[in-house]
Amino acid sequence: MRLLEEREAIVQYGRKLITSNLTTGSGGNLSIYNRAEGLVAIKPSGVDYFEMKPKDVVVVAPDGQIVEGDLQPSSEIRFHLALLRYREDINAVVHTHQVYATTIACMNWELPAVHYLVGFSGNKVPLAKYATFGSQELSDNIIAAIGNYNACLMANHGIVTVGKDFGSAFATAEELELVSRLYYQTKCIGEPAILSDKEMITIGEKFQTYGQRK
Ligand SMILES: [Zn+2]
């Protein structure tokens, strides 16, 4: 079986999407790119996260051709592959319908720097224009909006986060759910204070060196 490690990561992080309340049912999807092998592992379409086994994961070429797998790949395979091809620093893509981020996306708003943790994306989270799920237009809209950010809201749909690995793309999804909730709550009681772009540059620099030094 090709990409065994990546298949196991999709099963592991798929379950984490449910246990971390970032998605429900078989909603959301995730993919990971092994650049050395030139192959992508992606969640199969419509399979329950707790039923999914490593053998169910679909392995495709970056152009979408199925290399290994009996099941259909995720219905959102277009934007997954477009993101992995778009930027060399993107190896992992996580897409969810997490409730607070999706609330902001349903307002067709961007998520501004209401809290410094928006720095997991950049100085904000941009918004991709609405298009039908699974469509080429949706993929094009995400690529047009994401630029160098590590996340993008999807109008009337959800959010997509990207990273060098699942650890970082998943952490971005989790932290942005907190920031989205804070934005929603502050908007409920007034007009929140937004951090400046200059401060968000400082935050971005600090994030580079945060954590355990190796
Ligand atoms: Zn979706």
Q: How far is the CA of 2 from the centre of ligand 1 (A)?
A: 26
pLDDT surpasses 90 at 158: yes
Q: Output phi, psi for 195, to 5 deg.
A: -70, 145
Decide if 76 is catalytic: yes
Cα 154 to middle of ligand 1, angstroms: 9
Q: How confident is the model at residue 214 (pLDDT cuts 50, 70, 90)?
A: low
Going through 9-157 in order, the beta strands assigned E by DSSP cover 29-34, 39-42, 58-60, 66-68, 92-96, 127-128, 151-154
For 69, residues 6+ apart whose C-beta sits below 8 A from its C-beta are 44, 56, 57, 58, 59, 60
* 23 Cα–ligand 1 center, Å: 10
- What is the per-residue pLDDT for 194? 98
Which whole number is the average pLDDT over 23-43?
95
Distance 193 CA to ligand 1 centre (A): 30
What is the predicted pLDDT for the residue at 211? 74
The tens digit of pLDDT for each residue in 161-201 reads: 999 999 999 999 999 999 999 999 999 999 999 999 999 99
Prediction pTM value: 0.96
Q: What is the pLDDT of residue 167?
A: 96
Is the confidence at residue 16, as pLDDT, over 60?
yes
| pLDDT band for position 159 (cuts 50, 70, 90) | very high
Helix or strand or coil: residue 161?
Answer: strand
Instruction: State the catalytic residue, choosing from 5, 37, 68, 76.
Output: 76
Taking the centre of ligand 1 as the mean of its atom positions, its distance from the CA of residue 189, in whole angstroms, is: 30
Name the average pLDDT for the chain: 96
Distance (Å) from CA 160 to ligand 1 centroid = 9
Band the pLDDT of 213: cuts 50, 70, 90. Answer: low
Q: What is the mean pLDDT of residues 111-137?
A: 98
Q: Are strands 66-68 and 158-163 parallel, antiparallel or unpaired?
A: unpaired
CA gyration radius, the chain: 17
Give residues whose Cβ lies within 5 Å of ion ligand 1.
158
Task: Compute, in angstroms, the gap from residue 133 CA to the centroid of ligand 1.
Answer: 7
Per-residue confidence (pLDDT) for residue 26, from 0 to 100: 85
Give phi and psi for 152, each to the nearest 5. Answer: -150, 130
Pairing of strands 151-154, 127-128: parallel
Residue-wise pLDDT tens digits, 57-94: 999 999 999 999 999 999 999 999 999 999 999 999 99
Distance CA 120, CA 72 (A): 32
